[in-house]
Amino acid sequence: MWVLILLSILLLHGDQTLASDPDPIQDFCIPNPKFGSILPCKNSSEASTDDFVFSGLKASGNFTETGLATIPVNPTIFPGINTLGMSFVRADLKVGGINPPHFHPRATEIAYVVQGSVYSGFVDSNNRVFSRVIEQGEVMVFPKGLLHFQMNVGEKPATIFACLNSQNPGLQKISSAIFGSGINEELLEKAFGLNHKQIGSMRRRFDPKKVT
């Protein structure tokens, strides 16, 4: 009887149960490199202080044609955050550079402006835009799964430090998802009022093999 009740609860609320990273069942879990991407824990006695320190954010990454450079950090390159339900990223924007509209299906993001003036915002499920320019020392939060964006509107390069509440937040770029994923061309023409030539141009531009 109790088994049936428990199964019913799990079926009814399973989507909520799996909606975020599970709580860890130990103090920490340093991945054992012997097992590749599976990330099992190595013996806690083998952990060292270096496992909990990351030094890879001192300089910007490589810039894309949109003027954006990112250094995403997850347990693969920073073992100490494995199973802690978090990841983070350093983002740099050239003057006029943009972080194009995108969303993280599995995480809320909080972005702190280290330097610069950044037009930031997100769009809710009612297509309402919440946006403003955030300055050095200010923070903006982007709720999980909602489209958001950033643009450097200052006269100097901008740097942003963002933290996400999942070690695997996912990243879906809107332009690449629409024009670089192989969606039926006729559907795209009807959805966006574009012709065959325009669709072809957009597909070449946002081909995921060429866009970083």
Using DSSP's 3-state secondary structure scheme, residue 71 falls into: strand
Q: Does 13 carry a binding-site annotation? A: no
Which residue, chain included where needed, has tokens 């946002």?
A: 206
* Closest C-alpha among 139, 148, 151, 152 to residue 113: 139
Could you count the other beta carbons within 10 Å of the beta carbon of residue 112?
A: 15
Cα separation, 123 vs 165, in Å, equals 19
Annotated ligand binding at 43? The verdict is: no
- Beta bridge partners, 152, equal 118
172 forms beta bridges with 103
Residues in CB range of 162: below 8 A, 6 or more apart: 88, 89, 91, 109, 110, 111, 112
102 assigned ligand-binding residue: yes
CB-CB contact of 21 with 85 (8 Å): yes
Query: Which residues are documented as binding site?
Result: 99, 102, 104, 109, 148
Query: Which residues are documented as binding site for Mn(2+)?
Result: 102, 104, 109, 148
Query: Which residues are documented as binding site for oxalate?
Result: 99, 104, 109
